[in-house]
Structure 1
């Protein structure tokens, strides 16, 4: 019996099972122990294979592919610490609902805890963060192939979001020309090989349930809060709220067009909070709110009912309001709960939003990150998409900009880490083949600099906008001790990214004015490759502008 040949057959069955659950993209890191899985994926014509030498970046590449394609994405890595590097992406997927199928090659049991090279305890390595974990046995013909496909099918059929971890031990030898070993074992699955359906079909669909008293609540004074939505949901929620005459507070990730822009500014005004207190019901669609003032208001509001609609599991409401947690597809829920045409009940919020927007326009005339955040819509490519990083930049965009309704916006706002932002944006672009603008801070770019390698392979123009304010200036907004702020919090690195771009053969610009930035971006949208544009800005200018505008609008 050829061990290497049967390893390949075992891996081939696993990978073929994945195709029956919509997996088309497979992200692969180099490694020897994962050879059966890698070669099995390479020869399966259903897959588009992506490679990266950095497993942490690879995990986030898969995360981005899953975000944009809204389909499960597989990851293949070798044993050892290669596996551990996937942890941040698995945590993020668990919080934001992307489907990842993580195939980790492993040493067989006899090589664990005995000093063998690159052998660690991999079963359960990701703790509670995957939605399911499977520790497969060493490949053997004593176990029927139907057990293997049923095991895979059951896990993936129940997957509503997050990662499924499948640990795959393989004994050596790993290399060799395939022979007839295990052919009858494989063929025992019969015409399954010619079908496109899972061997075992399961369902865990969460159906929207009509709230019988909706006809009553839709006649009340309501407020709509929109968190992270997709483009279709964002447009639908905005139209629904407008029909009801309810004010809509839209997050930067809501894709609603933010009909009351700059919410995180005008919510600092006591008049706004007083008016919103008149609401009898608040309905929130989507989680992961960004704005500090929005979150503060959301935590302290006391309507008669607070409903939260999202297809993710869990409460998703840190304030634990009295009301209803409705786990289902948002578009389906809206169809079951039609709006009734009513007059807007609070025009004062519209006035405050206009005051805030005018303050932003007057307060961001100097070139810098505040101006770029406020005028970001002017840089967006037609029929393109936006990826927004974390820390200060996402807060500035959320506070200052009004993004177009239905324009795709992506981010990693589950755990809100800075790891893997460039690779996630690369995955988003690869899944859609759309022109993409990604905007991140300098520390975020440094943290994922290996993933600049992924930007050498783009299928449409890609602009990476790095806002270099020399450190983590989000800490300038927090009451961090001034004497230790620079050394222990902001950590300025005093770098520029010209050499990093050159190392990966990427175009690079360092504009010093808005006109130069606009020219560089316009040129980049005509180029079929990636362009790095670095904005060198004052260290605390963005944070100070935000604080100044908050003070101004709060007194309006």
Structure 2
């Protein structure tokens, strides 16, 4: 038996099985033990291959591809610590629902726990974070091909959201020409090779029934909270809330148009909180809320019913409200629960939201990161999309900006880490081929610096704005010890990003005023390539501006 040839046949069945579940994109890191999987992926005409030398960035590239495509995305890595580098992306996918399929090559069992090179205990290494796990045996013609394909179908057919870990041990030799050895093993699957369906088809459906008392609750005083959802769903929720006459508190990722902007400001006003106390029902669509004041209100509010609608399973409500956890797509749930035209019941909140917006607008000419967050909608590319980083930048946009309804917005707000943001943005662009504006902080950019390599392969203009406030200034909003804040929390690095952009052959501009920024963006949108725009701002101005506005709006 030719071991290398059979390894390839085994891997070919795995990759073909994945395509039957909607896998179109596959992300591959270099490695020797993963050779059977890599060559099988390269030969499969249904797959679009993406490569990256850094497995952590590779996992986040897959995450971005999955966010936009809505399809499962596969990842191939070699054995050892290469596998461990996929952990952050897998965790994020588990919290936000993207389907990642991790194909991790491994040493065969006889090389584990005996001092063999690059051999670690890989089965189960991700603990409870994968939604499904499958530890395959060493490839053997004694194991029928139909077992292999049905095992994969079972794992993917029962996947509602999150990641799948398929561990794939391969014995040496790994290299060699293909021959007809054990061709009959592969051909035993018959006309499955010409079909497009899984060998084993599952019918997993998770959908909540229509709430029979909805006709009663839609006549009450309600509040809509909009978290992470798709662009089309955001527009639907905005129209639904408007018809009901219910105030809509929209997160930066809601894509609802945030009809009551600056919620993170006006929720700090006692009048707004007092009016919200009159609500009899709160309906929240999507999870991963950003605003601190929104989370505080959500934690303390006590309506008669709190309904949370999300396609993900689990509670998703840190406040543990009494109510209903409804598993469904937003659009599917809205279709089953039509709105009834009613007059708005809130009077104070729309007035406060308008006044808060005016307070923010009053300082928009000052150059700074708070003002950039407020003006960000002015800089969005037409027919494009926005990727928002974590830490201070997403909070400022949520609190001070107002994004267009239905404009696609993406972010990693599950675990809310700063790792892999550039690589996720690269995946978002590749999956859509839209012009993309991505905005991250300087520490976030440093954390994923080598993923600038991924931006060399974009199919439409991409602008990466790096807001350089010299450190993790999010900690300026927190009661961190003043004397230790700079050294142990903010950790300023005193760097600029021109050399990094040059190293990867990317366009670059450093700006410190609005005119220069707008000129840089105008030029970047005309180029079918990626441009790094470094916005240099004073270190603590953004946090201080937010705190000043909070104080002003709280006293309106």
CA distance in 2, matches of 1:203, 1:108: 34
Whether contact under 8 Å (1:208, 1:329) holds in the other structure is no
State the Cα distance separating 1:140 from its structure 2 match: 0.2
State the Cα distance separating 1:365 from its structure 2 match: 2.6
CA distance in 2, matches of 1:155, 1:305: 36
Match of 1:360 in 2: 360
The CA deviation string for residues 506-540 of structure 1, in whole angstroms up to 9 with x for no partner, is 00001121111011111111100000000110000
Following superposition of structure 1 onto structure 2, how do residues 256-295 of structure 1 map, counting pairs within 5 Å?
256-295=256-295
The CA deviation string for residues 423-461 of structure 1, in whole angstroms up to 9 with x for no partner, is 000000000000000000000000000100000000000
**In structure 2, the residue corresponding to 1:283 is in which secondary structure?**
strand
CA distance in 2, matches of 1:363, 1:110: 67
CA distance in 2, matches of 1:442, 1:237: 34
**In structure 2, the residue corresponding to 1:382 is in which secondary structure?**
coil
Is 1:52 the equivalent of 2:52?
yes
Match of 1:524 in 2: 524
CA distance in 1, matches of 2:36, 2:182: 14
State the Cα distance separating 1:322 from its structure 2 match: 0.5
Match of 1:421 in 2: 421
Is 1:333 the equivalent of 2:314?
no
Following superposition of structure 1 onto structure 2, how do residues 54-453 of structure 1 map, counting pairs within 5 Å?
54-453=54-453
**In structure 1, the residue corresponding to 2:309 is in which secondary structure?**
strand
**In structure 2, the residue corresponding to 1:175 is in which secondary structure?**
coil
CA distance in 2, matches of 1:522, 1:535: 15
The CA deviation string for residues 398-425 of structure 1, in whole angstroms up to 9 with x for no partner, is 0000000000000000000000000000
Whether contact under 8 Å (2:245, 2:342) holds in the other structure is yes
Moved more, 322-331 or 444-453: 322-331
Match of 1:456 in 2: 456
CA distance in 2, matches of 1:346, 1:318: 26
State the Cα distance separating 1:181 from its structure 2 match: 1.2
Following superposition of structure 1 onto structure 2, how do residues 485-500 of structure 1 map, counting pairs within 5 Å?
485-500=485-500
**In structure 1, the residue corresponding to 2:362 is in which secondary structure?**
helix
**In structure 2, the residue corresponding to 1:357 is in which secondary structure?**
helix
State the Cα distance separating 1:203 from its structure 2 match: 1.9
State the Cα distance separating 1:328 from its structure 2 match: 1.1
**In structure 2, the residue corresponding to 1:375 is in which secondary structure?**
helix
Whether contact under 8 Å (2:291, 2:399) holds in the other structure is yes
Following superposition of structure 1 onto structure 2, how do residues 473-492 of structure 1 map, counting pairs within 5 Å?
473-492=473-492
**In structure 1, the residue corresponding to 2:103 is in which secondary structure?**
strand
Provide TM-score, normalisation by structure 2. Answer: 1.00
The number of aligned residues is 556
Whether contact under 8 Å (1:131, 1:161) holds in the other structure is yes
Following superposition of structure 1 onto structure 2, how do residues 16-55 of structure 1 map, counting pairs within 5 Å?
16-55=16-55
CA distance in 2, matches of 1:129, 1:528: 38
**In structure 1, the residue corresponding to 2:511 is in which secondary structure?**
coil
CA distance in 1, matches of 2:549, 2:93: 35
**In structure 2, the residue corresponding to 1:434 is in which secondary structure?**
coil
State the Cα distance separating 1:344 from its structure 2 match: 0.6
Match of 2:13 in 1: 13
CA distance in 1, matches of 2:330, 2:507: 41
CA distance in 2, matches of 1:132, 1:142: 25
CA distance in 2, matches of 1:331, 1:297: 26
Whether contact under 8 Å (2:364, 2:375) holds in the other structure is no
CA distance in 2, matches of 1:28, 1:195: 26
Whether contact under 8 Å (2:32, 2:78) holds in the other structure is yes
Gaps of 5+ in 2: none
Match of 2:501 in 1: 501
Provide TM-score, normalisation by structure 1. Answer: 1.00
**In structure 2, the residue corresponding to 1:74 is in which secondary structure?**
strand
The CA RMSD over aligned residues, in Å, is 0.5
CA distance in 2, matches of 1:139, 1:383: 47
State the Cα distance separating 1:193 from its structure 2 match: 0.2
Gaps of 5+ in 1: none
User: Which 4+ stretches in 1 moved above 3 angstroms?
Assistant: none
Whether contact under 8 Å (2:238, 2:248) holds in the other structure is yes
The CA deviation string for residues 261-316 of structure 1, in whole angstroms up to 9 with x for no partner, is 00000000000000000000000000000000000000000000000000001000
**In structure 2, the residue corresponding to 1:430 is in which secondary structure?**
helix
CA distance in 2, matches of 1:26, 1:445: 24
CA distance in 2, matches of 1:555, 1:11: 65
